[in-house]
Structure 1
Amino acid sequence: MTGHDWNPDLAHTDRSEHTGQRIARVRKLRNLSQEGLATLANVSRSLIAKVESGSKPATPSLVAAVARACSVDPAEINGQPYRGTDKRSDAVHATIPAIRMALAYVDVAPELDMPPRTLDELALELVRLQKFQKAASHIRLGALLPAVLEELTVQVMESDAPRAWRLLNRAQSLAGSLARRLGYHDLAQVVVERTSVSAQRAEDPHLPHLVSLGRARLLMTLGSWDVALKMIKQTAGKVDQDNPVSTEVFGSLHLSAAIAAARAGKVSDAWEHHGTATEAAARVNPRDRRDPYGLQMNPGNAAIHGCAVAVELGDSDQAIRLDQGVDLAREKVTDERRAHHELDMARAHLWANDHDKALKRMIAAERTAPQMTRFHPSARETVRQLVRVHRRVPEPLRVLENRMSL
């Protein structure tokens, strides 16, 4: 990290402004009334009013719909990226310029200070980076990723070996996931295009399908749920389920389709895709699960996604009922996925006005994957709302609020 990586102007943005206030500000810049914005975003005026006043949290679906209606990036509505107040708290963002630079090399190889590591060595390094991703350790992942991207770029330009392209595709996918989670959607779009190229050279039949999945997930983040859903359906139809890995890819596509359909308000489609994914997960013998792409396509993740579908549909009662059948101590999912489930259930309990359980699940999410939780827009919305509804803010909630710099 150099002395120029940290931008104090970005780090000292107004943290007191909540999502509803940002929606109001963008709406007024577009000369829209609450009624006008509600019409464009296909929601009720009362919902816009409640979110703008801070009496109701903004869901990812609402944020994306408002962003589309106002022609802005959802990250602007969410207030992302969430910069720190000093170099230590801003460390994860200081890695982004180096990742951008590493991804900029296309026709010309970067000049390294020493020869790149061998493909075997870089493959082992990628295994380590994938562990950081699964643990939602954004800072450690971001710090090590640029060097791996640059070394693999040199490798593919010198050898054009399919294995080098496969490893580069994996490193690029890690960069895209990190960029999307931190709110750098422009960078995530660059990664999608880079992975499309590397997938074509990697001689792996599954990678083009996963590129489509990555593109669809970005579209979902930007609020294009119908387009994302159509893309996933088309891709899933091309997957030959002739081996366990293909079935895992097929099931993962349908899990994402379920979330896209839920955000689009297509109830029956959402549950149909979730059912298809659940059946796919059950067809894979546990002894045959290799999960080479980190998809976590297993019954436990499918069950967790069932709760997520209910949350995205705004059905807190259904989410809470489904959660009773989820045993996180038994399910084989990553810390990041566990924390995301805790966050979803915190939202569900908040909507059900069970604030104690909502706080308990938020604390569990932050304990499991602190960096993911602190940088997640929905987590921040939930914490803000919990603070708002408490006449006397409990100390654990106050501590969580301070750690998020809200």
Structure 2
Amino acid sequence: MDELPIGRRVAYWRGRRKMSQQVFADRLGKSKSWVDKVERGVRRLDKFSVVYEIADVLQVDVQLLLGKDVERRPETQNCIDQVEVEEIRAALERYDQMSAFFQAVPHSPPLVEMRKAVSHAWLTYQHAKYGVLARMLPKLLRDAQAADSAYATGTEAKDAAHLLGQVYQIASSALRKVGEHELSWLAADRSIAVSQRAGDQLLAGLASYRVGSALLALGRVRPALEVNVNIANRLAPSFDRPQGQGERLSVYGMLLLNGAMAAARIGDSATVRDLLCGADQASKELGGDFNHYWTSFGPTNVQLHRCATAVELGDGRTAVEAHEKLDIVGFNAMLPERRAHHFLDIARGYTQIGNIDKASEMLLEGDRLAPSEIRCRPLAHEVLSDVLRRTRGTPPAPIAELAEQMGVGV
């Protein structure tokens, strides 16, 4: 895209952001005719101040609009930038599996190496190192696709498909975090088909969970609710069976929790209550917090979702009360991404009850624990903007500093 005129690049990113010319013009304070002329190349963009304003509205690095290489953020920022998103997109757009149908795959990494790489990617995600993950994902996707093609007809075909299904899910989760919801949906949908080939119902169930999460992020709330509940019903464990169902209980429970989040989004408190009750029963049967299939499911995660669903229902008071009753030992044992995510949820809960000081405290706690979960997520930017807007007088120095680092106007 570097060789395109700047107007074409503006049109491209406007389309990616799902903005009409009129909406884009309104946000710039320009006319629709002005935008149309810029995008067609009739009007030149010869003022850097205007280019920077356009980049701000489109939420892209100004260097992308100018067709130049983007200077990568320092490692401490650890976010996924637009260049990395495009590299992940390019990896998802490859259809090497079709090429393998006609001729042999020239090279594929050994599956033992792939297993190590996939496990490392999961842990990188669960420690909220999104920038590190973004830099490894394109190669990991290509390697997993190559392995899936190379072993398609051998005895290791299901193992290779299983690994590719996991990589698609990791990509889906990471992309959703940074607001690339359509791409997240694509990766999750790919995982469903691959997981079925792997012959693993639980992996397919988790792929459905990722699809539900992407649909929810896209505002497709009822389909998100349906896919989570329907697949949960198919995976429902029998609670009178002997032990050994830990993995099934974990996947089943996460589907119920995701369904509860969707139900909360549409204000269906009765369904939220039923789904949380089912997840709570599964967590008690499980007997503790575990990371089966990378779910971090257990009693503590159920409690975190009680808080999160209350926030989605607009009941900040209930969310805060549930937060104050958390099992601290269980909470501190959870991985950084899950804990920082919770701090962001509770920051929203405190804003709902007007306690801006506590909301600020929660954002700072999340930032200390896992900076990327706060600094890289569009939702966190919205919450911080709300906190700044409702702060009387000058914001406290730590919040002002965080806002400056995140690029959120004070």
Query: Which bracket does the TM-score occupy, shorter chain normalised?
Result: 0.7 to 0.9
| 1:282-338 Cα deviation digits (max 9, x unpaired) | 10134xx76342111111111111100111111111111111111444323221111
Match of 1:108 among 99, 106, 130: 99
Structure 1 segment 333-372 matched on structure 2, within 5 A? 333-372=334-373
- Confirm whether residue 93 of structure 1 aligns to residue 82 of structure 2: yes
Relative distance call for 1:225 and 1:186 in structure 2 (3 A) is: closer
Instruction: Within 5 Å, give how 1:1-400 maps onto structure 2.
Output: 26=23, 83=61, 87-89=71-73, 92-106=81-95, 107-108=98-99, 115-160=107-152, 161-241=157-237, 243-286=245-288, 291-331=291-331, 332-388=333-389, 389-400=391-402
Cα shift at 1:401: 0.5
SS in 2 for 1:337: helix
Q: State the distance in 2 between where 1:312 and 1:150 align.
A: 37
For the 8 Å contact 1:81–1:182, the answer to whether it is kept is: no
Cα displacement (A) at 1:159: 1.3
- Whole-angstrom distance in 2 between the partners of 1:27 and 1:168: 38
Question: Cα distance, 1:84 vs. partner?
Answer: 8.2
Provide Cα deviations, 1:205-225, integer angstroms capped at 9, x if missing partner.
Answer: 212222222221111111121
Distance 2:61 2:277 in 1: 39
Structure 1 position 185, deviation (Å): 2.1
Identify which of structures 1 and 2 has the higher relative contact order when contacts are C-alpha pairs closer than 8 Å and 6+ apart.
1
- Structure 1 residue 365, shift from structure 2 partner: 0.9
The question of whether the paired residues in 2 share the 8 Å contact of 1:339 and 1:366 is answered with yes
- Distance in 1 (CA, whole Å) between partners of 2:127 and 2:57 is 24
TM-score by length of 2: 0.76
Is the 2:264–2:272 Cα contact (8 Å) retained in structure 1? Answer: yes
Query: Does structure 1 retain, via aligned residues, the 8 Å contact 2:290–2:296?
Result: no
| 335-344 vs 380-389, which moves further | 380-389
Distance in 2 (CA, whole Å) between partners of 1:320 and 1:362 is 14
2:253–2:282 Cα contact (<8 Å) kept: yes
SS at match of 2:81: helix
Deviations 1:125-147 (A, max 9, x none): 11111111001111110111111
Partner SS for 1:309: helix
Classify 1:124/1:79 alpha carbon distance in 2 versus 1 (closer, same or farther; 3 Å): farther
Cα distance between partner residues in 2 of 1:81 and 1:191 = 22
In structure 2, the gaps of 5 or more residues are 14-18, 27-55, 64-69, 74-78, 239-244
For 1:386 and 1:240, locate their aligned partners in 2 and report how far apart those are by CA, in whole Å: 41
Partner of 1:62: none
8 A Cα contact 1:80 1:183, kept in partner? no
The CA distance in 2 between the partners of 1:144 and 1:343, in whole Å, is 26
Q: Which amino acid aligns with 1:258?
A: A
Aligned partners of 1:102 and 1:150 also within 8 Å: yes
Q: 1:80 deviation in Å?
A: 7.4
Q: Using structure 1 for the length normalisation, give the TM-score.
A: 0.77
**Cα distance, 1:26 vs. partner?**
4.0
Change (3 A) 1:290 1:270: closer
Contact conserved, 1:134 with 1:336, CA < 8 A, in 2? yes
5+ residue gaps, structure 1, are 14-21, 30-77
Give the AA of the match of 1:218.
Answer: A
CA distance in 1, matches of 2:58, 2:208: 25
Compared CA separation, residues 240 and 379, structure 1 to 2 (3 A): closer
* Aligned partners of 2:80 and 2:130 also within 8 Å: no
**What amino acid sits opposite 2:108 in the alignment?**
P
The separation in 1 between residues aligned to 2:296 and 2:201, in whole angstroms, is 19
Aligned length in residues: 342
- CA-CA distance at 1:237 after TM superposition: 1.1
Q: Deviations over 1:90-143 (max 9, x none)?
A: 76332222212222223126x9x9943211111011111111100111111011
In 2, Cα distance between the equivalents of 1:267 and 1:293? 29
Larger mean CA deviation between 386-395 and 244-253 belongs to 386-395
User: 2:250 and 2:366 mapped to 1: Cα distance?
Assistant: 26
CA contact (8 A) 2:261 2:272 kept: yes
1:157: Cα distance to partner? Answer: 1.1
Amino acid across the alignment from 2:377: H
Counterpart residue number, 1:44: none
The amino acid of 1:342's aligned partner reads F
How far, CA to CA, are the matches of 1:210 and 1:128 in structure 2? 19
Q: Which residue of 2 aligns with 1:61?
A: none
- Write the distance in 1 (CA, Å) between the matches of 2:392 and 2:206: 44
Change (3 A) 1:129 1:202: same
Q: What SS does the aligned partner of 2:294 have?
A: coil
Provide the rounded CA distance (Å) in 2 between the counterparts of 1:324 and 1:290.
Answer: 22
Q: CA RMSD in A?
A: 3.1
2: CA distance, partners of 1:309 / 1:213: 16
Do the aligned residues in 2 keep the contact of 1:81 with 1:184 (CA within 8 Å)?
Answer: no
